[in-house]
Amino acid sequence: MEILQIRRFRRLRSHAGIRDLLQENHLDPKHLVLPVFVHDERESQEIVGLPGHYRLSPPEALNYIRDSLGLGIRAFSVFPVVPQLSKDMQGSEALNREGLIYRTLKLIRGQLPEALLIADVALDPYTTHGHDGVLDVKTRDVDNDATVAILEKMAVYLAAAGAHFVAPSDMMDGRIYAIRSALNANGFHQTGIISYAAKFASCYYAPFRSAIGSATGTANYLDKRTYQINPANIREAIRECKQDEVEGADILMVKPAGHYLDVIHCLRQNTMFPIAAFQVSGEYAAICAAAEKGLLYRSQAAMESLIAIRRAGADFIFTYFAREVAELLRG
């Protein structure tokens, strides 16, 4: 009997054209969301721990976004850097409609209507303690319902200022239903909700917390385990996502991304909703630091990390590599 010829998989890798034809997952600038940090200073400030990223004044942010649109990036997540003197235990500045984030959104929406604007909904930039909500002074834990009452107002104000999506990142129970109800009651039926539905209690947020000035404690560590998900738990994360579907979320977020590809994949098998993933500041910083030491090639590592997130099932990705990768994809 004739022995069958061994199948040669390398035939399908032998030419760049063949490899392009058969590529299963793709990355495009339209799949990327660029984080943008704004402050009320005149001069930009480079962010330690996030090489290539800066705290920008609102006019500088406008120009930065305009330039990024030229690279094919369509979506931008804007984060405010609130002065320490404007912070308090309750995060009151979050409801100041003349505050930095509201002025910035109005400016960008008015000048660049083609830019898709995503606004974070959480109190950590506004509180003196750095938690994502109102801190109960007796228990030293976040008061869930008192926080939700603030967040629903904040979401309405952000929608009025021009946000296309509000993105609750606080992980309070019931906040998606409260925010959806408040948006609808105020006529913002078309404002979407990107829910940070599966946000884990990760150590990889440290550079971001430093960037917005919410870091406290040793090495920027702040214990948020009473409201963020245990990194060991995947079923809990899926339950959170399913609950947010019921409450009115439009898009579900997994954060961080790189160490939680299994969560993204599992969620993809369990929902028809769009999935976002956030390649967080610590993931970006780790790749940058390794590249600076000559341990890996930065652009290849960036591309590989992002295509892995797409392969796991994410429809789009928040990433600090957005501009860099967009330029690489342009050739």
Query: Per the structure, how many domains does the chain have?
Result: 1
What would the mean pLDDT of 250-256 be, rounded to a whole number?
A: 98
The answer to the question of residue 12 being in a domain is no
Residue 138 has a pLDDT of 85
Q: pLDDT tens for residues 44-73?
A: 999 999 999 999 999 999 999 999 999 999
pLDDT digits (tens, 9 = 90+) for 153-172: 999 999 999 999 999 999 99
Confidence at residue 2, expressed as pLDDT on a 0 to 100 scale: 58
How many alpha carbons lie under 13 Å from residue 272 in its C-beta half-sphere? Answer: 1
- Count CB atoms within 10 A of the CB of residue 201: 16
- Structural domain including 185 reads 26-329
Residue 4 lies in a domain: no
Q: How confident is the model at residue 3 (pLDDT cuts 50, 70, 90)?
A: low
Query: Does some domain include residue 8?
Result: no
CA 230 to chain centre: 19
Q: What pLDDT digit, counting tens, does each position of 191-202 carry?
A: 999 999 999 999
Mean confidence (pLDDT) of the chain: 95
For the residues 199-213, what does the mean pLDDT come to?
95
pLDDT tier, 82 (very low <50, low <70, confident <90, very high otherwise): very high
Give the model's confidence band at 145: pLDDT under 50 very low, under 70 low, under 90 confident, else very high: very high
**Is the pLDDT reported for residue 4 higher than 70?**
no
219 pLDDT band, cuts 50/70/90, is very low
Backbone Cα Rg of the chain: 21
pLDDT of residue 137: 79
Active site residue 153: no
Q: Given pLDDT bands bounded at 50, 70 and 90, which one contains residue 8?
A: confident
By CB neighbour count within 10 A (0-12 exposed, 13-18 middle, 19+ buried), where does 44 fall? middle
CA pair distance 57, 222, nearest whole angstrom: 27
- The answer to whether 262 and 233 have CB atoms below 8 angstroms apart is no
Residue 312, pLDDT > 70, answer: yes
Average pLDDT over residues 189-217: 92
Q: Is 87 a catalytic residue?
A: no
> Percentage of the chain surpassing pLDDT 70?
96
33 dihedral zone (left: phi>0; alpha: psi -120 to 50; beta): beta
- 255 within some domain: yes
Q: What is the pLDDT of residue 238?
A: 98
Catalytic entry in 153, 199, 224, 293: 199
- What percentage of the chain exceeds 90 in pLDDT? 92
pTM for this predicted structure: 0.95
Collapse the DSSP code of 236 into the 3-class scheme (helix H, G, I; strand E, B; otherwise coil) and give the result: helix
pLDDT at 218: 42
Q: What is the CATH number of the domain that holds 70?
A: 3.20.20.70
Using the predicted structure, report yes or no on whether residue 25 has a pLDDT greater than 90: yes
Quote the CA–CA distance of 231 and 227 in Å, as a whole number: 12
pLDDT digits (tens, 9 = 90+) for 98-119: 999 999 999 999 999 999 999 9
- For residue 5, being part of any structural domain is answered with no
Query: End-to-end distance of the chain based on CA atoms, in angstroms?
Result: 51
The pLDDT assigned to 216 comes to: 58
1 within some domain: no
Average pLDDT of the residues in 30-53: 96
Are the C-beta atoms of 301 and 287 separated by less than 8 Å? yes
Question: Does some domain include residue 7?
Answer: no
Mean pLDDT in residue range 221-237:
94
Query: What pLDDT was estimated at residue 214?
Result: 87
- Provide the CA 113 distance to its chain's centre, in angstroms: 21
Task: Say how far apart CA 27 and CA 72 lie, in whole Å.
Answer: 12
How far from the centroid of its chain's Cα atoms is residue 313's Cα?
16
What is the pLDDT averaged over residues 274-303?
98
Q: Is the pLDDT of residue 23 over 80?
A: yes
Active-site option among 30, 106, 255, 293: 255
Q: Is residue 319 part of a domain?
A: yes
